[in-house]
Structure 1
Amino acid sequence: MFPIVLPQLALTFPNLDPILFQIGPIAIRWYSLSYIVGIVLGWLYAKSIVRNNRLWGGQSPITDIDMDDFMLWATIGTVLGGRFGYVFFYDFAGFMADPVSIFQIWQGGMSFHGGFLGVTIAMILFARARKIPVWSLFDVIATVVPIGLGLGRVANFINGELWGRVSDAPWAMAFPTGGPQPRHPSQLYEAALEGALLLAVLFIAVYSFKALHRPRLATGIFVGGYGIARTIVEFFREPDAHLGYLFGDWFTMGMLLSLPMVLIGLVLILSARKVEYLAPETDHA
């Protein structure tokens, strides 16, 4: 039985312009801005973590300069992985029919799972090049990634895309591209769970429970936490029209890609072991 939906009770979508401002042919979009701000804030947060030897129980194995240099690697890995992940996971046939649209990133269409794979490859290559413990780099990046995730989902909401399923919840709203029926603002659910909540959990784990003393722990919390959060939201999010439901009338591609993350996260958490980093050098009189 379908829920009774009362469109007249739906909240009004704010209908913000996806373009923040435009100077001639150059348009700055909320979507692009969310990536830029997320990367910059994540970089600053990561630098504060690697500077704090107390969090490591000794000398941090990563330097400020490492974080500065990795910013470019992270940007390339995130953007390329996110875009090509969306192409292959969500609309391969559509993009093959119009290959030029693959490069029109400003139109939206980024996959977290693809971006996750892209930045993971970038981290492995960078860590090997700099002789950095790869799990330590994973842990730092995992701690700051929810900043970008949260901002990205807010940008999805402003764009009026990736809206939720039809709902009679009092906070449901009718999106311009979602028809007249009110829907869950699932983008904001994701911003809250994958962004704010996961960021807070990782902050507490790192600053109060010394997660960086145990390589893989922060990474496991992030990977498993994201998988759980995304799986929950998928029950409220409308699946992509060209994919629909994979099994029955409830299982989605988002769930298929997220459930393995829960298992991987659990394995990482259980396998994390405490290590002793070198004590920071001190000057002697």
Structure 2
Amino acid sequence: MWLNDFYHSLNPIAFMLGPFQVRWYGIAYLLGFVCAGLVIARVSRRWRLDLTTDDVLSVMIDVAVGVIVGARIFYVVFYGAGYYLEHPLEAFALNQGGMSFHGGLTGALVGGAIACRRWKLSTLTVADLAVIGAPVGLFFGRCANFVNGELWGKETMLPWGVMFPTGGAVYRHPSQLYEALLEGAVLFCVLFALSRRRPPRPQGTFIGTFLVLYGVFRFLVEFVRLPDAQLGYLLGTNWLTMGQVLSLPLVVAGVVVLVLARRCDRSQVGHLEPAGDGPTA
């Protein structure tokens, strides 16, 4: 039996708690943040940084808020195609789906920077730590996209094609799993391997590498992933998606960060100064 005899019939609802539905997508977010926090804590110990569990938890909370807010804002602005101008209140309806990774990344950077400023932490070091754990969250998130039967790819005759309920009676690229592999597993392995070098690589090395590799991987996967229906292709009938447009600046920014990191060659540090009981007014 060919693998592409598989018809997607997975249930996006993991279980029920009374009248409440607990979805795999929500579980993926939770697992992603927890696992990223564990990775950050482990790497910070290996780098011998003066970061406590409270430091990591404080940063993760601000990053989590930034991810959710940023992901929703970017989706509304770049993928809404004017819909939310006519229905502004639905911009707050997170239960209806619609999140952008690029917005989540921007929100995470802003939230993390705010946390670092508040707790007097090195922003670049925390960013480097965070992106080592981030691919774990991406992996869970893309797997959840597959469970939801969303963001599928173009038609394919390859033996691992999947027939999705909303994708018509054709087999399609499971582009969600491609992204889980590249943006999740491969990116994590690369960054985690780099983190094992002693002394740690200069500040900015990991955030720069993350931006470059994620941008490249996402740009490539977009060739077999169908664009959002409300936007379609931005050039012609089969060229340039919004995901590719938003990924190109990430690659450029990553290259710039890597060049600056190499030139400055600053060591990873924990606190910018000894931490007290918390921020003072």
TM-score by length of 2: 0.89
The question of 1:195 aligning with 2:189 is answered no
Identify the residue that residue 149 of structure 1 maps to in structure 2. 138
Identical counterparts, % of pairs: 40
Checking the alignment, whether the CA contact within 8 Å between 2:146 and 2:176 is kept in structure 1 is yes
Q: Partners of 2:107 and 2:135 in 1: how far apart? A: 16
TM-score by length of 1: 0.88
Matches of 1:92 and 1:25 in 2, distance apart?
33
1:126 aligns with 2:115: yes
Which stretch of structure 1 is more off in the superposition, 41-50 or 269-278?
Answer: 269-278
Instruction: After TM superposition, give the deviation of residue 103 of structure 1 in Å.
Output: 2.8
Q: Distance in 1 between matches of 2:218 and 2:269?
A: 38
2:209, 2:269 → 1: CA distance? 25
CA distance in 1, matches of 2:169, 2:267: 59
After superposing on structure 2, the runs of 4+ consecutive aligned residues of structure 1 that deviate more than 6 Å are none
Shift of 1:129: 1.3
- Partner of residue 125, structure 2: 136
1:32 maps to 26
Conserved 8 A contact 2:154-2:225: yes
Structure 1 gap ranges (5+): 1-7, 280-285
Name the SS for the 2:82 alignment partner.
Answer: helix
Equivalent pairs, count: 266
Alignment of 1:164-175 (within 5 A): 164-175=153-164
Q: Which digits, 9 at most, give the CA deviation of each residue in 1:172-195, with x for residues without a partner?
A: 121101111111000000000000
**Could you say what the CA RMSD is over the residues aligned between the two structures, in angstroms?**
1.9
Residue among 216, 221, 231 paired with 1:243: 231
Offset at 1:9? 8.3
Q: Match for residue 282 of structure 1?
A: none
CA distance in 1, matches of 2:151, 2:170: 15
Find the partner of 2:49 among 54, 60, 67: 60
1:222 is aligned to 2:210: yes
- Which consecutive unaligned segments of at least 5 residues does structure 2 have? 271-281
Q: Contact 2:32–2:140 (CA<8 Å) still a contact in 1? A: yes
1:23 is aligned to 17
In 2: Cα distance, 1:22 partner to 1:71 partner: 27
Counterpart amino acid of residue 221 in structure 2: V
Distance, in Å, in 2 between the alignment partners of 1:29 and 1:230 is 25
Secondary structure of 1:27's counterpart equals strand
Are the aligned partners of 1:173 and 1:184 in contact in 2 as well (CA < 8 Å)?
yes
Matched, 1:78 2:67: yes
